[in-house]
Every structure is written in C-alpha cells, then in structure tokens.
Amino acid sequence: MVQSKAAETWAVARDRIAGTAIGALVGLAAAGIWNGHWWVYGLAILACMILPPVLQLKSGGGFAGVAASIILLVPNNLPHWKVAEGRFIEVGLGVLVSVAVSQTIWRDSSAQ
C-alpha cells in the first residue's frame, strides 16, 4: 500500500476502510434477515461489488466482499453484529497502521 504520494496513500486507505464498512453492513443485514441461504450470499457479494464503485471507492469492492464473506460464512458463536464490528476494527486499525508506517519509515523523500 506504499504510494509515492501521501494523497494517494490516504485515498486508498479511505477506500479500503469504507469498503470494509460497506461489507460489514451488507453482511450484517444479510445475516440478520436470511442467514444460511446461498442466494442471499450471492446477492450480498453482488451488492459489495456494486456499491463501492457507485460511491467512488476504487479499491473498496474487494474489502467489502471479504468482510461480508467473513460475517456470513465463517462459523462463530458471537452475534453477527460483533463479528461485523470486529472485522471493521481489525481492518481499520491495520490500514491506519500501514499508512502511518508508510508515511514515516518508508517515506519517499523524492516525492515531496
């Protein structure tokens, strides 16, 4: 995720965090309403692939699909909202830490 320009790095980070939020919400809605049906999973993933580009989030679709898949397919004893919350926090924290590292340790001084 290291980009040559800070603005590009922040744009990708924003897209990934927003994509994860979309996937968590879509996955949570699908799990809460029709959990267990294959066609619901398909519709949820379709929504995750359509919504981010519509919202101008270039790299958010993949993250949305992964978040929804984890909520819908990974067996867990926690409530679905806890799984969605955990996934969002994990990805958000990971993205923010990677941006911080890329902007401090591996910063390209020639790009300034």
Domain ranges (residues) in the chain? 6-107
* pLDDT value, residue 7: 79
Is the predicted pLDDT of residue 107 greater than 90, yes or no? no
* pLDDT value, residue 9: 82
* pLDDT value, residue 2: 45
Q: 83 by DSSP, 3-state: which?
A: helix
pTM of the complete model = 0.83
Is the predicted pLDDT of residue 3 greater than 60, yes or no? no
What 29-32 contacts at long range (C-beta under 8 Å, 24+ apart), as own/partner pairs, is 30/68, 30/71, 30/72, 31/71, 31/72, 31/80, 32/80
